[in-house]
Amino acid sequence: MKKIFIVAVLTSSLVDIALAHAQQNFISRDGVESKEIEDRIQISMSEDEFLKKRTALIIKHSHHDNTFAALQKAMEDEDTLSGEFWRWKIDQYLYGQYTEFQPIYDAYKQGRTFLDIYDIPNDPFIDRADPAPVLPKLPDGYFSGYLPMNRTPGESHYADGKIYVAYEGDLTDPYIASYDVETNQWEGPYKAGHNTLSKNGRKTDGHGNPTMQQDVDGYFHITFGGHGGEREDGLNPLSIDTAHAGGRFTHVVSDKPNDISSFSQKHDVSPFASYAESSKMPNGDMYFFTRAGTHKSPWVYYKLKSGSQTFDPPVIITWPTSHKNDPMKVDMFYIKIFKASDTDILVTAMNHLCNFKEIHTKRHDDRFNAYYMRLDTNNDTFYNVKGDKLTLPITKTQADKHTLVYDSVSAGTIVNDTRGLVLQDGKPAMSYELRFPEPREWKMATFAGNAWKTGQPMPGTTVWTLADSDSKPIDAIVSLEELSSDGKKATAAVIYKNSKKETVFAIAKSNKSTGVVGQNWVVESDHLALTGAGMQMKTVRNDAGDAVGVVVNVSKGKARRLYLWHDGKIRPRL
């Protein structure tokens, strides 16, 4: 038997109703009586005591926070999700928004499982796995197995003559491999940890792809696996949103320096976090930025100081806020980082207008605006573009006032992504991707004269030309990354679409005979080509900024593999 109690919100009379309901109403589970359950678990706080304290806090804060009333109404009007689900939602909101509830809930939870507290055997937001598809053949030359979800080229790093690549492999577990540029030999891939995200019959979820850094002592650090946490981990102290996607965020460290063959877990990060990005500074400090939970959660960063193997406690950057006139709607952010110098990390963001019912459109037309901040790692302080110090955490209202770059609401557009930029002229800059109107397009914003100038083309995109080896123009340039240039000649990696409707990865050259160096390119050699394929690439560079290789993700249908180009060839793992 498990006691079921309702949520009291606004008046003291509701407290009496709730307490009576808790004392008199029961639901039988497997014929086990309430007393037997209480005997089975070690209880630090009874349900009656917990209910009194919980209800008192809800009444206290409902006088100034109408989110409780909105969530209570959603529970009463429920037609698709259960009332138990909304009770869980209310508990999480109270737990994340008001820290005084945390020790109360933690005492009550001790000795109880999730299903002892909430009658929610099935999570309505977790999709079940599809039957294994028949995968189309991809070109030879790959070094990875089939990737389950991600189309990114993974995380790459170069050190001491080796290219290291960490990626999301079989069943979304993290894998790492290395390629020796002198001997042309591969090592690995090795499984670096266990990802709970796509296990136990759940649909493959690619949000837990790994980040990788190597510290000053040679140890490799990989974080992976998070998309909001597992509900069995309890409530999230850094969120107002329940865990509903699964996956524990995890930090593992190599057991030996400069050795990727085995890793051990460090229990120094929140299991609820997701969407990690990292940056290593020249002084050896490393910064890992992540969202602290599911959608309605703040963004934080973890700092790993030079010489340490564990993270400092997280620093909260943003905080989600409910709308006053409709508290079911919540403003949060998506953050991206870009290392701009030896001491500065650019932090750009877009606004995500989320909701407690988790209703999202396929077009993602709930994402707006572009924002710009700078983290000075000398003092770990955030500044806006004018150099004004920002007070953390930042809400949507504060972001609009101090860090807004592009107002997509006024422009009638939808923003899909952001990224910091560094320009040769030194002007502060960022980029943002417009999802609507179609087609998707990246735009640049620069700051000069005390104002942002938005809607500019990305650097170089208006002047690039590409021709094939027969000097025939190629119009469909997907992406181009310059690998080297001495002013007289240049080399680039390029992905383009040819007249056969193939997607092609190639190396191109530019010199005075092709036109303007760095603008007019001619394909020198094709290396990968596939009809109906998608490709993404990432250049691997050494500490001096010189390109030593290119990692390419080739995808067709649900088949994806990674390839490495180095020194003129695709390097297969034999």
Q: Which residues are catalytic, by number?
A: 207, 275
* Spatial separation of the C-alpha atoms in residues 366 and 354, rounded to whole Å: 7
**Contact assessment for residue 561 and residue 554, using Cβ atoms and an 8 Å cutoff:** yes
In the chain, the N- to C-terminal Cα span, in Å, equals 59
Which residue in 65, 59, 86 sits closest to 4, CA to CA?
86
Distance of alpha carbon 122 from alpha carbon 231, whole angstroms: 11
H and E: helices and strands count for the chain: 9, 34
Q: Letter for the amino acid at 428?
A: P
How buried is 150 (Cβ within 10 angstroms: 0-12 exposed, 13-18 middle, 19+ buried)?
Answer: buried
Q: Which two tokens stand for residue 299?
A: 């963004």
Contact 171, 180 (CB under 8 A): no
- What lies within 8 Å, CB to CB, of 499 at 6+ separation is none
Cα dihedral across residues 208, 212, 217, 218: positive or negative: positive
Q: By the 8 A CB rule, do 47 and 24 touch?
A: no
Rounded Cα distance, 201 and 353, in Å: 30
Q: Whole-angstrom Cα distance, residue 256 to residue 38?
A: 47
Contact by Cβ (8 Å): 521, 480 = yes
Residue 561 in contact with residue 538, Cβ under 8 Å? no
CA distance 430 to 516: 26
Cβ neighbours of residue 60 closer than 8 Å, sequence gap 6 or more: none
Burial class (CB in 10 A: 0-12, 13-18, 19+), 204: middle
